[in-house]
């Protein structure tokens, strides 16, 4: 679901809704959708709320106050709550969104009869003129010079004009009726599908069955890490000594492809975590693609280089995979599909004597899975949601929000316009200013590290359409308040790196000693007095 038509300024990662679970968990996209469908009832002030808990409470309150019709007292039953949205309960979210589309006032716009009204007024004016001409003809005496005939000719012209206007009015009204019937038919089908979808979801919940809603984000990620080119497999088979003097059938090729895909699907989670770790392991390049330096680091960690697979061969495989899909852009890096292709080629070089489908399995079991590092942001974010850590953030929420609002309104770029920067987000320059004001820059924290933290805390940074890099324009790099809190926790790990002290104690020390006393804050009305 695309949210690009919304008038609210959106970050790249907020312009697409791909599932009804984690995409809606913080309420940001939910608020944007509500404002788009109900701009008067859910205003921009509610959309710009930076506090996640308050944002979710606004959505729950809107659900309770939503009426079936504007002139009716009948309200929509409670479908979602702040807790259900935060818990990523996709069924309730999907049902509520379907109800929103059903009740959106934009689907019930009034028929525009303004053009018909203007034509009708022209008919009235023309008919008045015809009537006055008829009275003139009736009162006019016989004229030997033919003045009466001229009057009759004029009368005939006006009557023909009235007929033409009547015809035009009939066409316009027919067009309105047809368009209205067509819109009503489309809306009726839409409402029927939404109603069937809603009842199916509720029925599945009552029977304890998981909903059949597809998570497009996860499905797209799985597709990237399990796509295997049939042409590439055909070339590998044809290069084998046993296949040089025989034809290769499509059945044989697809059998090999399906065998490799089965192995890749089995280890999808590991491959995804491994790729995400190495694609973010250096301070340059895209966070969603793997540079040559990152790829070589992965190869060395996995101990792949040996007598059969030399480092130049690994380097050549990288360039072959990247250049095979080259789209003309400069300094293209390895995508997930290129990474999978490279693993297949490396496995072919390292284990040439094994059965074709078992080579990739052998590479993963002996080299990749035991040795490769993995990125696990979910584990760290789960730690941030522990009661002790949340208690620290809740204790200093008001002060941190004042700091966030102050720096989010800073003008760090003279060319920045209101259309390119939201007041509810921090850009990278504002975040760097905060780090400098707090005097965090030193041996352990540099500008590059702060910028890398800024990139990695952004949700869904590993999607193709939302990938960001250290060379991306500053307008595209923005974090909201929830990501700002996560960034503070990450900086805590960099600055107070003592594993023997629990994170919540180090976080409170970091906030009270380094952030609150040094960072500038947005003054409240009470402070100004």
Long-range CB contacts for residues 79-82, cutoff 8 Å, separation at least 24: 82/53, 82/56, 82/57
Q: Let me know if residue 505 belongs to a domain.
A: yes
79 shares a domain with 140: no
> Are the C-beta atoms of residues 281 and 294 closer than 8 Å to each other?
yes
Q: What is the CATH number of the domain that holds 37?
A: 1.10.418.10
Domain-located, residue 220 = no
Cβ atoms of 216 and 19 closer than 8 Å: yes
Single out the residue of 261, 329, 325, 322 nearest to residue 294, CA to CA: 322
| Residue 384, both tokens | 């941030």
In a shared domain, residues 187 and 329: no
Q: What's the domain range around 84?
A: 12-108
pTM: 0.71
Q: Is residue 468 part of a domain?
A: yes
Query: For the chain, percent helix, then strand, then coil, each to nearest 5?
Result: 65, 0, 35
Same-domain pairing of 237 and 359: yes
Q: Are residues 82 and 186 in the same domain?
A: no
- Burial class from Cβ neighbours inside 10 Å (0-12, 13-18, 19+) for residue 83 reads exposed
**Are 351 and 299 contained in the same domain?**
yes
Strand, coil or helix: what is 257?
helix
- Residue 166: count of CB within 10 angstroms of its CB: 15
* Residue 218 lies inside a defined structural domain of this protein: no
400 and 318 in one domain? no
146 and 81 both lie in a single domain: no
As beta bridge partners, residue 479 has 426
Nearest-Å Rg of the Cα atoms of the chain is 33
Asked if the structure places residue 194 within a domain, the reply is yes
Cβ neighbours of residue 458 under 8 Å, at least 6 residues apart? 11, 13, 468, 477, 478, 479, 483
Taking a C-beta distance cutoff of 8 angstroms, is the pair 485, 393 a contact?
yes
Are residues 436 and 503 located together in one domain of the fold? yes
Q: Which of 108, 131, 165 is the last residue of a domain?
A: 108
Considering its fold, how many domains does the chain have in total? 4
Same domain, 240 and 368: yes
Asked whether residue 217 is domain-assigned, the answer is no
Transcribe 193-238 into DSSP letters.
Answer: HHHHHHHHHHHHHHTTPPP----HHHHHHHHHHH---HHHHHHHHH
Quick one: 340 and 385 in the same domain?
no
Last residue of one domain, picked from the residues 47, 75, 108:
108
Task: For residue 283, give the CATH number of its domain.
Answer: 1.10.238.10
pLDDT tens for the 529 residues of the chain, in order: 666 666 666 676 777 778 888 888 888 888 888 888 888 888 888 888 888 899 999 999 999 888 877 667 788 888 889 998 988 888 888 888 888 887 877 666 666 777 777 878 888 888 887 778 777 777 766 665 556 667 777 778 888 888 888 888 888 888 877 877 777 777 677 777 777 877 777 777 777 666 667 778 888 889 999 999 899 888 888 887 776 657 888 888 899 999 999 999 999 999 999 998 888 777 665 667 888 899 999 999 999 988 888 899 999 999 998 886 655 555 578 899 999 999 999 999 998 888 888 899 999 999 999 999 888 788 888 899 999 999 999 999 999 999 999 998 875 444 444 444 567 888 888 999 999 999 998 867 888 888 888 888 876 544 444 444 444 444 567 888 999 999 999 999 999 988 899 999 999 999 999 999 998 876 655 544 4
Whether 212 maps to a domain, the answer reads no
Q: Are residues 24 and 45 in the same domain?
A: yes
């Amino acid at each position: 679901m695309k949210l690009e038509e919304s008038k609210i300024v959106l970050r790249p990662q907020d312009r697409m809704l791909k599932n009804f679970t984690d995409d809606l968990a913080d309420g940001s996209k939910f608020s944007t959708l509500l404002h788009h469908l109900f701009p008067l009832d859910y205003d921009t002030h509610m959309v710009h709320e930076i506090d996640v808990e308050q944002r979710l409470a606004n959505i729950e309150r809107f659900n309770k106050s939503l009426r079936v019709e504007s002139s009716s007292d009948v309200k929509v039953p409670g479908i979602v709550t702040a807790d259900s949205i935060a818990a990523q309960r996709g069924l309730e979210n999907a049902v509520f969104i379907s109800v929103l589309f059903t009740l959106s006032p934009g689907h019930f716009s009034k028929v525009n009869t303004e053009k018909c009204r203007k034509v009708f007024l022209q008919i009235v004016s023309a008919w008045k003129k015809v009537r006055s001409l008829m009275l003139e003809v009736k009162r006019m005496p016989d004229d030997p010079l033919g003045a009466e005939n001229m009057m009759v000719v004029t009368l005939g012209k006006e009557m023909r004009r009235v007929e033409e206007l009547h015809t035009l009015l009939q066409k316009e009204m027919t067009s309105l009726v047809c368009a209205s019937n067509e819109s009503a038919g489309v809306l009726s089908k839409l409402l029927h599908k939404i109603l069937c979808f809603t009842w199916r979801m509720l029925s599945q919940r009552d029977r304890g069955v998981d909903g059949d809603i597809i998570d497009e984000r996860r499905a797209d990620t799985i597709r990237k890490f399990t796509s295997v080119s049939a042409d590439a497999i055909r070339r590998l088979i044809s290069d084998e000594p046993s296949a040089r003097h025989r034809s290769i059938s499509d059945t044989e090729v697809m059998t090999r492809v399906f065998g490799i895909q089965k192995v890749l699907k089995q280890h999808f989670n590991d491959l995804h975590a491994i790729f995400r770790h190495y694609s973010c392991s250096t301070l340059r390049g895209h966070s969603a693609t793997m540079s040559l330096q990152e790829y070589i680091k992965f190869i060395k960690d996995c101990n792949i280089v040996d007598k059969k697979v030399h480092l130049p061969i690994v380097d050549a495989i990288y360039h072959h995979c990247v250049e095979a899909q080259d789209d003309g852009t400069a300094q293209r890096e390895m995508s997930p599909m290129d990474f999978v292709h490279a693993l297949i080629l490396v496995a072919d070089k390292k284990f040439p004597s094994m059965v074709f489908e078992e080579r990739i399995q052998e590479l993963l079991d002996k080299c990749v899975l035991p040795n490769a590092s993995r990125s696990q942001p979910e584990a760290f974010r789960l730690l941030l949601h522990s009661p002790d850590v949340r208690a620290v953030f809740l204790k200093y929420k008001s002060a941190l929000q004042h700091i966030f609002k102050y720096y989010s309104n800073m003008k760090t770029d003279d060319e920045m316009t209101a259309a390119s920067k939201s007041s509810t987000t921090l850009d990278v320059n504002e975040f760097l200013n905060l780090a400098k004001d707090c005097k965090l820059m030193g041996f352990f924290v540099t500008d590059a590290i702060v910028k890398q933290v800024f990139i990695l805390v952004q949700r869904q940074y590993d999607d193709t359409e939302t990938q960001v890099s250290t060379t991306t324009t500053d307008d595209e790099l923005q974090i909201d308040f929830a990501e700002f809190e996560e960034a503070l926790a990450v900086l805590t790990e960099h600055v107070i790196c003592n594993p023997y002290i629990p994170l919540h104690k180090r976080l409170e020390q970091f906030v009270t000693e380094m952030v609150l006393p040094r960072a500038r804050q947005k003054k409240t009305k009470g402070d100004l007095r």
